[in-house]
Structure 1
């Protein structure tokens, strides 16, 4: 064992230099995309100013590119709205609203911003690619711009030896959902079987009861059903919907179509599954799943399904989803497209109270 001369123990200390930052984001919705294409190359449409880190910013949207080399693309640039005495250091990132990043959001390198000097993407996306993508719906799309501002203020903090050592320890994210998902997939220890339209699913009573008060009452409470051969029959539900429900119960994750069906699937399938899954989540009192379905359906609202989704929101008390549907219908163009469809007539018959609310909203 080594020691310092004289037998004394070495002194140990640590300190941390902290750079102050401020972060925020702005969502820019392009409503009536096709009409913005009349804007010449090099000309832009500006967003409203927004504040991050004590500075006001705005986004320049170039429908036909910022330069002639970019005329087939959409350009997006971030600018300071106010004049400043010295440059502002900031990072930024653009992404389509509704896109979930598989990795933590990386904002890229630090840039210096001054008045009328911006940074961005000259070729954010090719117009042809946007028009063929799911991001453009009913002639609209939305972009989220994340901004991180680094201030010039630095502070030095003393860190204990224990803190310095603890910073070297990396804790991986929770993998509980993977273990429970494996339990569902392998059916190891399963003690109940569900029959859904002739398709069977094995599961674990205690897992279901812990996640859903309805399952808890069915298996262990006053509503306890008779155990006839360990098979529970589920009525009025498609097998793929029940499979998706079980996936959420075991993993707490929103199921994707590839996890409940084989083969290629489209946005329409995701839309319909989310509608049915919302009904199932309400039935089994899975409030988080119900909210996830609401959020997912907000991405799919269009003239062809808004009446159905609005009726669903009313019947299952989904106030946020209902508000988004009303916002969609507040556009005269959208309303005209919806009124001409059979779904709107069905909505007026099945949910007269919703129609009264809609009329009141439009009159205001």
Structure 2
């Protein structure tokens, strides 16, 4: 009788944890002339089980860095060695987005004997303080640091066979449910087109649909509902997001068409109290913001209570190099006629830019 064959396997695992800390410096101008080697430090933040901080030197660290500011990542934890990579960024106050100024993408060892990142100035002060750069607004500067810490590695040995578990496919199943017209229990008529759906799915995703379909409204008993004020293609995308939590790729649309459907979809998201979809549309519109479209987008944000989008538009319009171009657009003329009160915020913000 032959011996049985035994099968074993092992795996070596290394994990990484990433965290981002935002450090806002209020009263930046008061720190000018602070002196070489003098710094201000952020609050302590934890990534990968270790404590870190951002140190900012307004006047650099020595004679060689005169005219520069410097920023370092500091390991606060004591008596440890940590392998980490990092990215230091300045946040553009106009766009709200971080701009990478220095990074170490290859991991290095931080320890008690080597607390700092390389002593390299990351920004010439004249560039940092330029109005057109958008880094300093209302005398505030925001530094962002993303740290990736390499955590402990280990070897795991197992016997028998491993079973591979596929990724979640729940959105695909719900996507198929959307096209299942036979079992649907409600149908929407939108601009002459019909869209079958499931009441329970709609009610789960939207409190407005829940009130319509299960509340005291007359629609709760209806199997066919007419929707006014929404285009059929927008309602179709709305349903897709309700079932799959995702939007189409829209690769065949140009920038103008992309912005147009995003505006209509944001209005629909506000109508049905779908906040995540509303923010996704706002983000899409910010990505395509320019002097020609900003006034139109601002009016939309004000009408549908999208404060984050509204703030970005006001910052964009108030910046000294954008305002004159915006004034020439038809969108601004319409905004001036329909929402004159909102222009007070723009003018106040523009005044601060000119004083800075």
User: Deviation at 1:214?
Assistant: 1.8
Higher RCO structure, 1 or 2 (CA under 8 Å, sep 6+) = 2
Counterpart residue number, 1:36? none
* Aligned twin of 2:235: 242
CA deviation after TM superposition for structure 1 residue 221, in Å = 1.9
Mapped pair 1:193 → 2:196? no
- Alignment check: 8 A CA contact 2:187 2:224 kept: yes
Q: 1:339 to 1:292 in 2, by over 3 A?
A: same
Which residue number in structure 2 is paired with residue 202 of structure 1?
196
TM-score calculated relative to the size of structure 2: 0.59
Q: Cα gap change, 1:347/1:117 in structure 2, threshold over 3 Å: closer, same or farther?
A: closer
Aligned length in residues: 262
2:344 aligned with 1:347, yes or no?
Answer: no
Label 1:332 to 1:179 Cα distance change in 2 as closer, same or farther (>3 A). same
CA contact (8 A) 2:318 2:347 kept: no
In the TM superposition, what is the alpha-carbon distance from 1:326 to its structure 2 partner? 1.2
Q: Mind listing any 5+ residue stretches in structure 1 that lack a counterpart?
A: 1-15, 28-48, 59-78, 99-106, 119-137, 259-263
Distance 1:331 1:191, change over 3 A: same
1:117 Cα deviation after fit: 7.7
Distance in 1, Cα, partners of 2:340 & 2:330: 15
Instruction: Structure 2 unaligned segments of length 5 or more: list them.
Output: 1-11, 24-40, 57-69, 76-80, 96-103, 111-116, 122-131, 135-143
Aligned to 1:254: 247
Change (3 A) 1:357 1:303: same
Name the counterpart of 1:290.
278
2:148 maps to what in 1? 148
User: Kindly tell me: are residues 304 and 145 of structure 1, through their superposed partners in 2, closer, same or farther at Cα, counting changes over 3 Å?
Assistant: farther
Partner of 2:30: none
Structure 1 length-normalised TM: 0.58
Tell me: CA distance 1:184–1:93, structure 2 relative to 1, closer, same or farther (3 Å): farther
Distance (whole Å) between structure 2 residues aligned to residue 285 and residue 179 of structure 1: 24
Question: 2:212·2:219 contact (CA, 8 Å) conserved in 1?
Answer: yes
Secondary structure at 1:254 match in 2:
coil
Aligned counterpart in structure 1 of residue 218 of structure 2, from 224, 242, 255: 224
Q: Which of 175, 182, 193 in structure 1 is aligned with 2:169?
A: 175
DSSP-derived class of the 1:359 partner = helix
Q: Equivalent residue of 1:240, what SS?
A: helix
Provide closer, same or farther for how the CA distance between residues 80 and 169 of structure 1 changes in structure 2, counting only shifts above 3 A. farther
Change beyond 3 A, Cα 1:139–1:234: farther
Question: Over aligned residue pairs, what C-alpha RMSD do you find?
Answer: 4.6
Question: Any residues of structure 2 matched to 1:28-67 within 5 Å, and which?
Answer: 54=52
